[in-house]
Amino acid sequence: MDLIQRAAKDLLTSRWAIALTGAGISVESGIPDFRSEGGLWSRFDPMEYAHIEAFHRNPEKVWEMLREVIPLTSRAKPNPAHYALAELESMGILKAVVTQNVDGLHQRAGSRVVIEYHGNHDWLLCLNCGFKRATSEADLEGPPPRCPHCKAVLKPDVVFFGEPIPLEAQRRALEEAKRCDLMLVIGTSAVVYPAADLPRIAKGRGAKVIEVNKEPTVLTGVVSDYLLQGKAGEILPKVLEEVKKLKDEGRKEDHSLS
Ligand code: NAD
């Protein structure tokens, strides 16, 4: 049995399967991850531009990065990996997606139970007085948007390095990690905490952990049971096909017995 077949079988026999996704699942939608060489993140070092201290120090400078990143995420389209997860959910096999991504692509692909661990780009917040409003195209031009009440520069409602995880997302993600008996860990280097704790928590409670990644990670061979190595947009549709095939075979066997 190859690993695709093994993953399909594990999914079909699971009681509560969930997925944890990271930037890698959206690379095939044209949004670079932090590990990509060249391009966006070599011009804007995430530790510098996506750190809350950087925002407090110089929000105008952080908006130089946001003006490039927000359109990338808002104009991107889901890829076959996002669609495969949505279909696994609609088949009743996948119960939730916990995503570290801020691009909204799981929802656009049709996933319904999505826990956004790091927020999203849809809203802007005033860190000074709590004012909140939806992001608009106009925010991407001219000077950074300011709070209409206290004039502070607004910040997208995403979790910057150095910021806590929104309480409700943290609570729900932890609950899912403890409850699941299978966790798909897709396109994450698993080095950004506390998200990186979730596969370890699941494993510690006896869940199977299956990685889908272009390359081995710190979880491989330590936390994960096995790695489906390759592009998520190619691997996940194959797993989905195999799940459907096994389900069909199961149905035929049921009929031949009755
Ligand atoms: P990361 O950049 O640290 O790691 C990405 C991982 O995905 C790597 O292990 C890489 O090998 C793998 N990968 C790359 N392309 C892949 C593909 N096509 N198929 C399968 N795997 C692939 O990302 P992270 O672990 O998510 O941590 C970075 C933080 O920054 C997270 O919070 C992340 O969500 C955020 N971020 C989000 C976006 C987004 O919203 N799309 C983009 C960049 C960064």
CATH of the domain at 166: 3.40.50.1220
Instruction: Return the ligand 1 atom nearest residue 35 CA.
Output: 2
How remote is the CA of residue 254 from the centroid of ligand 1, in Å? 42
Burial of 174 (0-12, 13-18, 19+ CB in 10 A): middle
Total domains present in the chain: 1
Instruction: Return the ligand 1 atom nearest residue 99 CA.
Output: 34
* Ligand 1, pocket residues at CB < 6 Å: 22-24, 26-28, 31, 33-35, 73, 100-103, 118, 187-189, 192, 212-215, 217, 231-232
Q: Is the CB of residue 31 less than 8 Å from the CB of residue 110?
A: no
Asked whether residue 245 is domain-assigned, the answer is yes
pLDDT of residue 38: 65
Asked whether residue 24 is domain-assigned, the answer is yes
**Best of 21, 29, 31, 33 to mutate for ligand 1, by most ligand atoms within 8 A of CB?**
33
Asked whether residue 152 is domain-assigned, the answer is no
Asked whether residue 243 is domain-assigned, the answer is yes
Residues of the chain predicted below pLDDT 70: 1, 38, 255, 257-258
**Closest by CA position to 131, among listed 114, 102, 155:** 155
How remote is the CA of residue 104 from the centroid of ligand 1, in Å? 14
How remote is the CA of residue 234 from the centroid of ligand 1, in Å? 16
Instruction: Return the ligand 1 atom nearest residue 192 CA.
Output: 27
How remote is the CA of residue 187 from the centroid of ligand 1, in Å? 5
Q: How far is 34 from 251, CA to CA, in rounded Å?
A: 44
- Closest C-alpha residue for ligand 1 atom 32: 100
Indicate if the alpha-carbon torsion angle 24, 28, 29, 32 is positive or negative: positive
Domain extent at residue 225:
1-31+78-118+162-258
Asked whether residue 157 is domain-assigned, the answer is no
Asked whether residue 65 is domain-assigned, the answer is no
Asked whether residue 188 is domain-assigned, the answer is yes
Enzyme catalytic residues: 118
Q: How far is 199 from 197, CA to CA, in rounded Å?
A: 6
Q: How far is 181 from 155, CA to CA, in rounded Å?
A: 37
pLDDT of residue 1: 67
Instruction: Return the ligand 1 atom nearest residue 190 CA.
Output: 25
- Closest C-alpha residue for ligand 1 atom 23: 23
Q: How far is 159 from 175, CA to CA, in rounded Å?
A: 20
Asked whether residue 72 is domain-assigned, the answer is no
- How far does the chain reach from its first CA to its final CA, in angstroms? 28
How remote is the CA of residue 22 from the centroid of ligand 1, in Å? 5
